[in-house]
Amino acid sequence: MQQQAQIAVLGVTGYAGAELARLLLRHPRLAGASPLFLGREGSARESLTAIHPQLAGLSQDQLCVEPFSWDLLTSRGVKVLFLATPHEQSRKLAPEALSRGLRIIDLSGAWRLNDSANRAVYKFSDEASLAATKAQSQSVYGLPELHRGDIAKAQLVANPGCYATSIILALKPMVAAGWVDINRGIVCDAKSGVSGAGKEPTAKTHFMHAADNLSAYGVFGHRHTGELLEQLNLPSDAITFTPHLLPIPRGILATIYVTLREKRTAEEIETCLRGFYIDSPMVRIHAAGHLPHIQHVVRTNFCDLGFQLAPDGRRCIVISCLDNLLKGAAGQAVQNLNVMNGWQETEGLL
């Protein structure tokens, strides 16, 4: 079993990038081999702790963010490249990285979707290119709870979206069991902290708009919708997903409404959830009627699932909570790194 892998991270200035750097600097398998942190090609070399002072003291090395170059990756013997970059940049970089034999964990939405109709929301300029088509064919959706075996062998892992992770994990066990009445529709009402919108401030994410407020956005058009459809194998009209901006720094709570095809007991539903995730240490199942809270998952890599069954035994509400920057981004990326290298899935995450 491989004990170490030389790691590089491109894109550490954002919130997810900072969390990724923190986790990798503390990862027991990377002790003595600090990751290579990279900025844009041609950018100035700068101190990592000048960008993120909270990372001071996590390494004995004087860590810097180096300007990106393929030659630098080669000279440092990099084997695994994290891309914490915008979608279009990941589309340009991943095919080249694959041609150089690198294994890639991409935190953007560049390679998550196999269906071109679902990818259309991103308006990728290289949609028809041979390089993009080849890279997409090599991509594995990076949700370990669903695709652990494929991730272990993958060259390109597409880290899932944060909303998508929370909803897919909540729905997959009962959908896979055939218990959900798809014809009645599924409603997903999800709320995320402001960090989910990224570090670049906008008119809708600055304090005066977000504080003391709650707002819906991306109605019938959010980028994560395609992930739900593909990973749950649902038709486009089977699910209604509405995200909301919650006035807290981080965390997601998704409330999911389903109708069951047949009457079930709470014990049956709990058994279904626990059985599906019996080998998934990052998913915690609450007992029937005990619902998870954001405050219990924030700054962890856990996804907490709970549910309440109506007295009629057919209407069920599932609650899913996770930290959008960890299980929804950087923590999940490290979880994928562990799987790819045959390490314990929870290493560096507990």
Catalytic residue among 162, 188, 316, 321: 162
**Residue 276 DSSP SS3:** helix
The b-or-e profile of 192-214 (16+ CB within 10 A means b, else e) is bbbbbbeeeeeeebeeeebeeee
Question: Which residues have C-beta within 8 Å of that of residue 227, sequence separation ≥ 6?
Answer: 112, 113, 118, 141, 160, 161, 164, 168
**Cα–Cα distance for residue pair 185/206, rounded to 1 Å:** 35
Other residues' Cβ atoms within 10 Å of the Cβ of residue 280: 17
**Cα–Cα distance for residue pair 128/133, rounded to 1 Å:** 7
Distances (CA, A) of 219 to 223, 242, 255: 10, 5, 16
Tokens of 41: 């090609």
Tell me whether residue 272 is one of the annotated catalytic residues. Answer: no
List the one residue out of 131, 14, 166, 149 whose CA is nearest residue 82. 14
Q: Do the beta carbons of residue 54 and residue 22 sit within 8 Å?
A: yes
**Cα–Cα distance for residue pair 157/98, rounded to 1 Å:** 11
Other residues' Cβ atoms within 10 Å of the Cβ of residue 50: 10
**Residue 342 DSSP SS3:** coil
**Which amino acid, 144?**
P
Question: Which residues have C-beta within 8 Å of that of residue 60, sequence separation ≥ 6?
Answer: none
Tokens of 65: 């963010």
Catalytic residues: 162
